[in-house]
Every structure is written in C-alpha cells, then in structure tokens.
Structure 1
Amino acid sequence: MDMAVTTLIDECRAPGFASQDYVALQRAGRRVRKAIASGEIAGPPVRIAVVSSFLSDMVVDLLPALLLRRGVVATIAAGPYGGIATEILNPGGGVCRGADLVMVLPTHRDLAHAPGFDATRADSDAAVAREVADWQGLWSALAVPTVQLSFDPPPDRPLGELDGLSPGGLLFHARSVNRAIAEAVPAHVTVVDAEALAQRVGPAWHDAALYALCKQPFGAAALVEVADTLAAAAAGQLGKARKVLVLDLDNTVWGGVVGDVGLAGLVLGRETAEGEAFLALQAYAKRLAGRGVILAVCSKNREDLAREPFRDHPSMILKEEDIACFVANFDDKATNLRRIAATLNVGLDSLVFVDDNPVERAWVQRELGEVLVVDLPEDPAGYCAAIEREKAFPTSRITGEDLRRNALYRTRAETIAQAGAAHDIDAFLASLEPVAEVEPVGPASLDRIVQLIAKTNQFKLNPTVFTPDEITANRDGVIAIRFKDRLQDHGITAIAVTEPEDGALVIRNWVMSCRVFSRRLEHATLELIRRRAARLDLDRIVLDFRLSPKNALVKDVLAELGFEETSPEGRYAASLLPQRARMQHHISIVTPDGDGN
C-alpha cells in the first residue's frame, strides 16, 4: 500500500473526521471510491446497494469514506430515482442482485395511506397497518442485511401543533408508522430513526429548493448526518460495531488527579456544574454498559489509588463491578490498550478510547490507528455528546446476552487472571464445571442466533449470514450452544449451521464468541456436529473456510480439530471414522432430548 493510500486511510480514521462539511467529506468519499476500484485499498469489498425514492447520489458520494472509517471497504451501487419497490422486487435482481447489504431510503413522501384530518384513532391504526403490510412484502424479498431509514417528519404542519398529536395529522401518521415498523421488522433489518436525525440537524434538515431542483430532500448538513448514521448502522449489521468503551480516569471520569488531590479533592457531584458534567459521563457510560457495551479503564495511576474512588467516593455512579477490564499503571496508553484488547480477546478495532489529554489521544492515534479516538472538547459538559457523535455502538435490537455482556467479559478477565496463576490448566478448566447446553431454535433464541452469526468476526468460517426465516427453516441443522460454568451463564456463544449434501454434513457456517476463547468450546461443538452426522448416517464433515483479516486463528483450530484442506478454494473435510484423538474439553453436553455425556 503506497503512502498516499495510507494517508487517506489515516485521514478517514482521524478524530473528528465525520464532523467536516459536506464538500470535504464528498472529496474524501470519491478518493476512497477510486482507491477501492483500483485495488489500492485491500478488499474484497463489501457490495452495498442503495435504493431510494429520491436521487441518492449525494448520500452515496459520502458513504465510502464514512464506511472505511468504520473498517468497511465497500463498493456502492445506487438504484434509480423512485426505485425502492421496483428494484427490490425486480425478478432479474436489479441493483440489489448480489449485494451483501441493502440500504433502503424512503422519505415522508412515501407514506401511501395517510388518513384524513377527521380520522379517529381506529382509522389511524388501520392506515398504519396498511403501511406496514406494504413494507413486509418488501422485507421478505430481501435476504441480506438491510438498513432502512424511517420516515422523516414532514416540514408542513397543516394542523399546527395538533399535527403530531392528532390521528389526522401527517406527522402523527409518520411517527405511528415508524413505531410500528420498528416493532415489525425482521432481525436482518436495522431501522435508522430519521426523526432523531432531523432533530439533531434542526431546520437545515429539509431543503425545498434542492428537492425541486434535483429531487434531493436533505440540506447539506443533513446529508452528512444521514450518511454517517447509515454507515454506522451498516457497520453494525456487518459485524464492525465497536464493543469496548475505554475510559481514562483523571479529568475524564472525575475532575482532578486522584494521586495529587486525594479522594476529597476530586471534582465530582451535583455541588458544581463541572462535577455534574463528570456525573453525566459516568451515567452515560453506565447506560451503555447496561445495553451491552463493555467498559474498560486505562489510567496512568497507581492501581490502588485509581480504584479508591470506585469504592469510596459517595458520588461515583460507576463501580468496580461495572468495569470489565481495569488497567492502571504508568505504561504508555498504547501499550495498555493492547493489553486491554488481549485480555478481552477483541481486536483493537473494537476499542473506543476516551481521554481528556490531547497528547495521549494523539499518541494512541499515531500508534494504534485501528482504535477509535474520541475528539473530546475542553468542557466536560460536552463529553457525552462527543462520544455520541461517533455512533460507535450501533445496534438493531437488544438480546439477553447484550444485557449481560459487560459482566460476562469481566468474568472472562478474572478467569484469565486465575488461569495465568494455575499450574494445571486441565484441572483449572474442569474446576469451572462447564456445561454446553444446546438451545432449540425458537422465539427465545432466534434473534441472538442471527445476531451472533452476523457480528462475529474472529471465529467465523466465512461471510455467510442467514435471515431468521432461513434459520427457522433449517432449525434441525442449527446447533446453538449456551455455555455455562459455576461462575455464570455466558449465553449463546457458539453456533454451527449444518445441512446434509452429497453424502456429507456441510457446515455452512460456524461462529463462536471471542469471550469463550481458550475454554475449548470448539471441541464440544465439533462433538455435537459429529453426533448429527452420525444420526444422518454420514461419514464426512465438510466446510468452506474463507480467510479474512480477522479470522486467521480459525485455520489453526481446524487443523487441531482434525480437518484437512482438500481444495485451494478453502474446502476442508474431516472423516468420522476413524475418529481422531481429541483434546479433553471437560465440558458436559446437554441436549433438548437429554442426550448428554
């Protein structure tokens, strides 16, 4: 990769990149698109199709750079003006054919069943149901991850203040449809809240002159916000969402340097405006942790001093149990961020780094370009907004595993520390009393299965993803494992999607959460796969492995499990008989039919 391309990538990753104006981002987007087309930026690129009811060129121009910022190398094809339904339902495939992800961009002008001014609530509900029914037919035709913009608030309000509050108002109808769509979308569709975007942008959201001129409904500032949010949602659908919020402590989580001023001297609490701002950051971080973002601490401090406020300061909202990985020493921040990533077993591109010190931020940006460094303002009152602007933690739905994730990773870090001190790793793993419980495919597990396959990167055979309908139709071939031990329930952490084909059991994809690496769950999963092959009287197991920048470790695991590469295209096979000696996994297996071990 030549210096110009390296500079371009660094430019896209730089703090504050997405806060530039439309013209600057358009130039960057076109440069990135050209570099991808020429092969100068490593691929293979993700193929994204954009279908919209307006001319989407101005949005599409921004997407390559905003996606690259999030680790997604993408080629983007835009459908024709007004072509949402025709492109999605095109029997020849249209622009959506062969796409890895589709972006669907309607506006309020696409609301087809708005009721009259005198509508009752029953009339409104019936109109909303018709709108949703129209979209359900389109979603069923999309078998790939999809990002859909919800309906933006109309600029005209004929009913005045009642327009958003009365069943006869168009704004009321748009809001009602958006809520109903958010409840009805299948798991492979992420909805982007256009009304929230419009509120952030303000009056510049609509541009009537631009729409009349070239059927482009958004103002320049709105275009940036729309494109950046679509890029974030797409990254989340493609498994590129960030996972870990890494916090500095002194003058970031509280005011003052704890080693200098002591506990009593910290600025934290509702007594002052500055102290309240630090409380707001802590409350924001705690809410993120509550929905599945992992929290870590990276502080230049003595560890005992760094932990003291978490234990003893009366105003602290964050507690030690909220922090999955706590690193406090006097090593440089880049070294410690590598340590945090290794402990949590995530990539550096999973980290979001928050530090008030511009020198520390610049050092991390220079040394670890994969880490997202938040460009904090001087005033701590703006810290939450600065993190929020990065849109680093997109999600389409919340599962039970999401709600427990921070605690799960904290347990993982503690387990690693204990294992490091153990002399007999087999005895240690056995002492944890691990259990692999096979979960049937159903309403309680379906969202998590689809989500884990889509988001997993490090232990994943290939890019294949599945819609909820595909998983449900193949429920007998889906092995979803809930992993437990005496310390905690780790949730559904391993999935293998299998089906018989040409005398062999084909593993269409196999994923495993990074938080259970080193627990030998891959050996227990293979045991279940082998059992399924034996029940079907099949004597071979085959799979397709596609090397990516993230999943190189899988190749070694496949060899350890007894798979041999049989073609240069990545086809691997293993024979059931004779059965190769396997590593002891110490995991009890429980299946719905009681066929345990």
Structure 2
Amino acid sequence: MDARPMLTLCGTYTLDPVARVVDYWIDFLGLPAGIALAPYAQLFQQMLDPASEFRRNRNGANVVCVRWEDLLPRRAGAAREPDWSAIESCVTELASALASFEHAVPCLVLVGPTSADGEAAGDPCAALAARLAQVPYVSVEDGARAMRRYRVGQVADPASDRFGHVPYTPEALAALGTTVARWHAAMQRRPVKVIAVDGDHTLWGGVVAENGVQGVRMDPPYLALQGALAAQNDAGRLICLLSKNDERDVRDLFAAHPQMPLRWSHLVAQRVDWNPKPGNLREIVAGLELGLDSVVFLDDNPVECAQMRAQCPATMTVRVPTEPERLAAFVDHLWLFDQPQVTEEDRKRAAMYRENASRAELRRDSQTLQSFLDGLELVVEIEPPSADEVARLAQLTQRTNQFNASLIRHQGGDVCPEGADALHRAVRARDRFGDYGIVGQIRARARAGCLEVDLFMLSCRALGRGIEHRMLAAVGAHAQACGLERIAVLYRRGDRNLPVRRFLESVFATEADDDSMWFAMPAAEAAKVSLDTSAQGWDERDAAPAPVAEGERAGPPAADPGALYERIAHDMTTAAAIEQAISARIAPRPDIAVGFIAPAPGMERDIAAIWRQVLRMETVGAHDRFQELGGKSIHLVQVHKLLLERLHVDVDITTLFQHPTVASLAAHLSMRADGRKTLDAAQQRGARMREARARAAKNAGVRA
C-alpha cells in the first residue's frame, strides 16, 4: 500500500494533462506525494459518495477542477451553447455539495477560465468562494488569475475540447497544474518561520554607505519586494535584516523614507554590522529558539549566498535578481512566500516573539526557576477546542518538532478524534507579558482500561514553564474520571524530538529503548505530576530546541530546496517556460515484446516524431504499439491535433485507434492520399472533357 500523501484530482473535464504538470512539479521538488485521478466527469459522485476516492482520502489533499460550461445546461439550437442565466444555481449546487461533508484533508477548488465574455452575471468564482468561506479546509482559486500570473496567451483549445474534453491549450494547462502544485507544495514543505533579508541592492537600489541615506533608490520593484515582506510579517513570518553596513546609517535610511512598506518596527531582529552573515543568522535563530531549517535567506550577492549555503545548508538560500525589472516577477513566483492558510495565531506570531524577548530578560534576572515562574504570572487553560480552532491544532502537528511525542501529522479535520470515549484538549497559555495563544494539544482514547495518548505536543516557545507537567496531570485526572487505571503516551523517535523524550524519561522513570514505544504509569500517579522547581540539575537548555546538525533535513528533498525555489522564481515564471521544461523530460523507450525497427523515411518518420513529442519518449519504433508505449486516448487527441497542424491530415480518433503503430498509420494515410490523388486526377480529366465539349459546341454554333 502506498503510504505517501495522495493528491486526488476530480473534475468536470479530462484531467490527465493537469496531472502531468503536477507530476512534473512533484518530481522537480522531490515531494513525497502521489497522484490519483478520480473517474472521468464524476465530480458530484465523488463528493457525495462516502466510498469514493475523494472522500476516502485521509493522507494528502483533494483538488476539484471545475469549468462552468461543463455544469451549465445547454440552450436549444444547433450550437448548444451554455445557458449562463443558470450560473447562480450551478454555484449553489456546487457549494452545497462541497459543504455537505466534513473534509478530512485540505481541498482546493480550482475554477478554470471560461468563455463567458460577460454573459455570466457577476463573478461566479467569487460567489463560490464566499459561499465556502466558512467551510474548514476548503479554498477556492480562480483559474483566470493563473492565466494572468503565468502570462498565458491562448487559453481555449476548441479542437482538444471537441475530441477529448480537454478545453485548454498546453500553456493554460501548465498554468492550472502549476497552481495545484504550488498550493500542494506549500502544505508539504517544512514551514517557513523566519525570512532573513539583505539590504543593499535587495531592499533598495544602491549601497547606503556609498550613496548615502538619500542617494539610494526606492524604485517600484524594490518597494514591491518590501511590500511582500511586510505582508509576510502580517501573516506571521518573522522578518530579520542581515546587512553589512553601519547600523546608524540603516536606521536613518528607514526613518528618511516613509514610503517604504517595510518599516524598522517590522523587524523582529537585525544584525547590521560587518560580521559574516552566517554567524549573525545563527545568533538570531538561537535567540528566537528556532531551527535554521525554518529560515529563508534572501540576498542579491552570489558570494553571500554561496557562503550561507556552505555554512548554513539547512537554511533555504535564494538569490534575489540583480536586475530591478525582474524583481516584481521574482516576488510573484517565489513559492516560499505562499501560505495556504493563515490562522489568528500566525498573525500574532511576531508580537509573541517580541514578548519572548521580555520573558528572556526576566529569566536572566531571576535567581531561581521558581522566581522566574512567579514573575511570569502564568495562566494555563486545558480545554476542549472550539470548531474554529481545529485548523490551528492541525497546523500545530505540522510545525511542532521539539516537543512532539508521536510525530503524527495532520492537515485537516482528522486531527479531531471520533467516539464518545475520546479526549481532545487544546492547551492555551498567557502571562503578564502577553497571550501565547494555543501552544499545545492532547488527544487520547480509552482502550482496555488505559487512556492511550497519541498526540502530546507543546510549542517550544512554551517549554520550561511546567505546562507539559500540567498537560500530563490533566490526562491522569481525565483517566480517573473515566474509571481508567492507567495512562500511556505514544513516543516515536525523530531527528529533533529529544526534549520530549527527556521529559517522558524523567517523569515516567523509564528509558526510551525503542524507536517507537508507549510510556505508561498509573492514572492516579499521573494526576499528581507537577514541575519540581527545587530539583537539582534543571537546565534552561532543556527548554531550548534540540540543535540540528548542519545540512540535516527530515526526509526529502535531498537537493537544496532553496536552489530549486530560486530557479522557479528566476526562470519558470511563464506558462511557456514551464511547458518547455515539462516537454524536455524524455523517457526511454520501454522494454516491450517488439524489437526496435527504425521508421522509414517520409511519412513514418513524421508520424514517429509526433508520437515522440506526445509521449515524451526518446525513440519510437515503426512497429511499436501506441498503448504499449504508454499511450492513452488523451494522447491520441494530441496526435490528431499535431497531424492536422504539421501534415495537414485530418484523421478521426477512431482511425487512430484502428492503426496502433507508426507503420500501419503511415500506410493507411499513404493509401488515402493515393486514393485522393487518383480521384483528383479523374475529376480533373472529367473537367477537361466537359470544357472541350463546351468549346466544340460553341465553335459549331459559330460556323452555323
């Protein structure tokens, strides 16, 4: 059984070409994901049937590809044009189907561009998004936006639509497939928490030390990048400045240019000096108690980028274009800026980390742990989560690594347990410096007299305050209330969850002797667990993130992800460039029963070249069967189109099925051409004879 996250696509038209684009990006980025195509044109069956591929997906994501023309009724008449007066009812029906069940995984509804030309009243895509705004894990994307973003010229393909229900051109399909892949990649990759950015030639044009505070350029492209970073700050990313300058000059620059979207107050940390940037970044990240693998570093200087990649390889380093005119496209196509969902906790994150600086100062001034906790005035609430907090709890499973006992990840509503005997608690905390928000969660189920906890996690910014002890005590108290004698916590060893292992080993007085095990104790004993602030050997380092070895990443991709995203933002910003990259992927000829026989010159070679292009294959033999090479009906639609464009031969799909090899198809087309030539010659002889008779009759009339 394939344990990879599965991306299930269903829709109203043929989706094989979209899946081809998504598959390219999954391979390009090294994402651990597979693609499943629902049966053709069974959109509503997939959404309403609990046994469908769409509804059974519990690990990955779902995508709904819709074209309004496929859902609208047809007007009477020979043209059978879609009746756009019914668009409102179509929107209502689709929204009702999507809202009729609980989505266990994230779902993207991608509305393809239409040929309405103003016939549709209002904006049906916006209307659909409004109706689904309160449905958890469902998001709507307008395909028309993808056409603009990827600069698609020709969108519709009437021929492919007629023969294979593929309504869009290859470039338009590349834009739609890339939109799906970009959304999916944002959920699959490790969360970006910090963006560290250079100043000179990156946030502004010029060098402040040489051009002066007033001499640097604040051209629109630089302001576009600044605006994007300010938006990232608003969405919860922490913005830091790494600049080789005098700090006073840079502070004066920010103060002297009020038109800058990025303000000094947006910066959670700065290192403006002449020290190496990798060392400065390590200091900042350590102070924030985060890992280098949660950082994106942006700099225009290739030397600085090379140093960062060499000394901090876990950081995603992306070189910014040196040409200002390319900055706007770079900003729009830097996938690392994407966030599929922004929670209220995200929006508060920058403020939370600033509050952490005040807590760190209190900790340094406190003589004992108890005096530190007393000074915090900490309040902890362990309560059932509300419906609008489920998204944050699912996000927590993705982002929490240090203090995550089981390392179970969730992306949607399946974070909520089912059954009357299930326990699910959100952990909130606040102190005199501010509100931490939701920092942890517990999930458990009763089994054979034991309350088994499979989710036990706490954000690293809340460690070392006894919250984890209160969580375990809450588990013990709940077990006692349910008449259960024991509790057990599932632990799975990971690359970075050493802090939770230390906690479990100390509280349960048991060493973790396996990569996966249950830590167990009597419920009554668990209910009494508390932090012993007088214990000797307490070390603040226990509350800090476990260090990550440079270059160490949990799982794929093995390639440098920063370099991959840099290539996308620099070179793959149009649908034409993306389609060209996909077309360059050539597969070897498969090992089939028929030996390779080179196509003969002329018609056979022309047809073989078309097959190679359509099938993305290195070589095609004259007697290779189309199906054995991986060809499908959707590929025959493309073959038909290219035969018409290149050879000016119009062949129906049935004929292509009947002649499954290059040689047989070439022979058929040659015979047809010969027959047409014979017919044409006969017709020409008949025309000449008729003309001769007419001339003879005319001449006879003149003599008479």
Contact 1:51 1:102 in 2 (8 A): no
Once the two structures are superposed, the pairs formed by residues 259-278 of structure 1 within 5 Å of their partners are 259-268=209-218, 274=219, 276-278=220-222
Q: Which residue of 2 aligns with 1:559?
A: 505
Once the two structures are superposed, the pairs formed by residues 348-363 of structure 1 within 5 Å of their partners are 348-363=292-307
Contact 2:9 2:65 in 1 (8 A): no
The reply to whether residue 189 of structure 1 matches residue 174 of structure 2 is: no
Q: Which residue of 1 aligns with 2:469?
A: 523
Once the two structures are superposed, the pairs formed by residues 379-528 of structure 1 within 5 Å of their partners are 379-413=323-357, 415-416=359-360, 419=363, 424-460=368-404, 461-465=406-410, 467-468=412-413, 471=416, 477-528=423-474
Contact 1:111 1:131 in 2 (8 A): no
Contact 2:95 2:131 in 1 (8 A): yes
Per-residue deviation, 1:493 = 1.4
> What is the identity, as a one-letter code, of the residue corresponding to 2:335?
K
Contact 1:114 1:127 in 2 (8 A): no
Cα pair distance change 1:501/1:485, threshold 3 Å? same
Aligned counterparts of 1:63 and 1:119: Cα–Cα separation in 2: 31
Q: SS where residue 498 of structure 1 aligns? A: strand
Contact 1:521 1:585 in 2 (8 A): no
Q: Which residue of 1 aligns with 2:119?
A: 163
Q: SS where residue 240 of structure 1 aligns? A: coil
Q: Which residue of 1 aligns with 2:634?
A: none
The reply to whether residue 135 of structure 1 matches residue 98 of structure 2 is: yes
Aligned counterparts of 1:526 and 1:61: Cα–Cα separation in 2: 48
Contact 1:147 1:189 in 2 (8 A): yes
> What is the identity, as a one-letter code, of the residue corresponding to 2:143?
A
Q: SS where residue 335 of structure 2 aligns? A: coil
Q: Which residue of 1 aligns with 2:630?
A: none
| Partner deviation per Cα, 1:126-169 (whole Å, 9 max, x = no partner) | 543222112234x53x52x2332321221x23xx4x335x26xx
Aligned counterparts of 1:192 and 1:556: Cα–Cα separation in 2: 44
Aligned counterparts of 1:495 and 1:112: Cα–Cα separation in 2: 43
> What is the identity, as a one-letter code, of the residue corresponding to 1:244?
V
User: Please, which of 563, 567, 570 is the counterpart of residue 517 of structure 2?
Assistant: 570
Could you list the runs of 5+ residues in structure 1 that have no partner in the other structure? 1-36, 38-43, 269-273, 587-597
Could you list the runs of 5+ residues in structure 2 that have no partner in the other structure? 76-81, 535-704
Cα pair distance change 1:224/1:512, threshold 3 Å? farther
Per-residue deviation, 1:413 = 4.5
Aligned counterparts of 2:28 and 2:284: Cα–Cα separation in 1: 22
Per-residue deviation, 1:261 = 4.1
Contact 2:486 2:521 in 1 (8 A): yes
Aligned counterparts of 1:425 and 1:61: Cα–Cα separation in 2: 57
Aligned counterparts of 1:443 and 1:517: Cα–Cα separation in 2: 26
| Partner deviation per Cα, 1:402-447 (whole Å, 9 max, x = no partner) | 2211211233355446645766454334322222123543245344
Aligned counterparts of 1:222 and 1:545: Cα–Cα separation in 2: 47
Cα pair distance change 1:466/1:418, threshold 3 Å? same
Once the two structures are superposed, the pairs formed by residues 284-433 of structure 1 within 5 Å of their partners are 284-311=228-255, 313-413=257-357, 415-416=359-360, 419=363, 424-433=368-377
Greater alpha carbon shift after TM alignment, 98-107 vs 246-255: 98-107
Aligned counterparts of 1:428 and 1:311: Cα–Cα separation in 2: 37
Cα pair distance change 1:331/1:50, threshold 3 Å? farther
Per-residue deviation, 1:226 = 3.2
| Partner deviation per Cα, 1:162-215 (whole Å, 9 max, x = no partner) | 335x26xxxx4344234423x1432x3344442321221333444444445554
Greater alpha carbon shift after TM alignment, 562-571 vs 326-335: 562-571
Aligned length, in residue pairs: 522
| Partner deviation per Cα, 1:359-409 (whole Å, 9 max, x = no partner) | 222333454444333342223354343133122243344332122112112
Q: Which residue of 2 aligns with 1:249?
A: 199
Cα pair distance change 1:264/1:551, threshold 3 Å? same
User: Please, which of 510, 531, 543 is the counterpart of residue 583 of structure 1?
Assistant: 531
Cα pair distance change 1:214/1:339, threshold 3 Å? farther
Contact 2:13 2:70 in 1 (8 A): no
Q: Which residue of 1 aligns with 2:610?
A: none
Q: Which residue of 2 aligns with 1:177?
A: 128
Contact 2:288 2:353 in 1 (8 A): yes
Aligned counterparts of 1:547 and 1:204: Cα–Cα separation in 2: 52
Aligned counterparts of 2:174 and 2:287: Cα–Cα separation in 1: 36
Per-residue deviation, 1:100 = 0.9
Q: Which residue of 2 aligns with 1:147?
A: 107
Cα pair distance change 1:501/1:394, threshold 3 Å? farther
Contact 1:374 1:386 in 2 (8 A): no
Q: Which residue of 1 aligns with 2:546?
A: none
Aligned counterparts of 1:518 and 1:111: Cα–Cα separation in 2: 57
Q: Which residue of 2 aligns with 1:3?
A: none
The reply to whether residue 76 of structure 1 matches residue 35 of structure 2 is: yes
Per-residue deviation, 1:278 = 2.9
Aligned counterparts of 1:71 and 1:424: Cα–Cα separation in 2: 48
Contact 1:49 1:78 in 2 (8 A): yes
> What is the identity, as a one-letter code, of the residue corresponding to 1:232?
R
Cα pair distance change 1:563/1:464, threshold 3 Å? farther
Greater alpha carbon shift after TM alignment, 548-557 vs 503-512: 548-557
Aligned counterparts of 1:119 and 1:220: Cα–Cα separation in 2: 26
Aligned counterparts of 2:57 and 2:89: Cα–Cα separation in 1: 36
Q: SS where residue 426 of structure 2 aligns? A: strand
Per-residue deviation, 1:286 = 1.5
Q: Which residue of 1 aligns with 2:63?
A: 104
Cα pair distance change 1:423/1:353, threshold 3 Å? same
Q: Which residue of 2 aligns with 1:203?
A: 153
Q: SS where residue 408 of structure 1 aligns? A: helix
> What is the identity, as a one-letter code, of the residue corresponding to 1:203?
G
Contact 2:301 2:319 in 1 (8 A): no
Q: Give the RMSD, CA atoms, in angstroms.
A: 3.7
Contact 1:150 1:178 in 2 (8 A): no
> What is the identity, as a one-letter code, of the residue corresponding to 1:459?
F
Aligned counterparts of 1:585 and 1:238: Cα–Cα separation in 2: 39
Aligned counterparts of 2:322 and 2:48: Cα–Cα separation in 1: 51
Once the two structures are superposed, the pairs formed by residues 526-545 of structure 1 within 5 Å of their partners are 526-545=472-491
> What is the identity, as a one-letter code, of the residue corresponding to 1:535?
A
| Structure label with greater radius of gyration | 2
Aligned counterparts of 2:188 and 2:350: Cα–Cα separation in 1: 21
Q: SS where residue 320 of structure 2 aligns? A: coil
Per-residue deviation, 1:558 = 2.5
Contact 1:334 1:367 in 2 (8 A): yes
Q: Equivalent pairs: percent with the same residue?
A: 25
Q: Which residue of 1 aligns with 2:225?
A: 281
| Partner deviation per Cα, 1:561-582 (whole Å, 9 max, x = no partner) | 4274587643332333445864
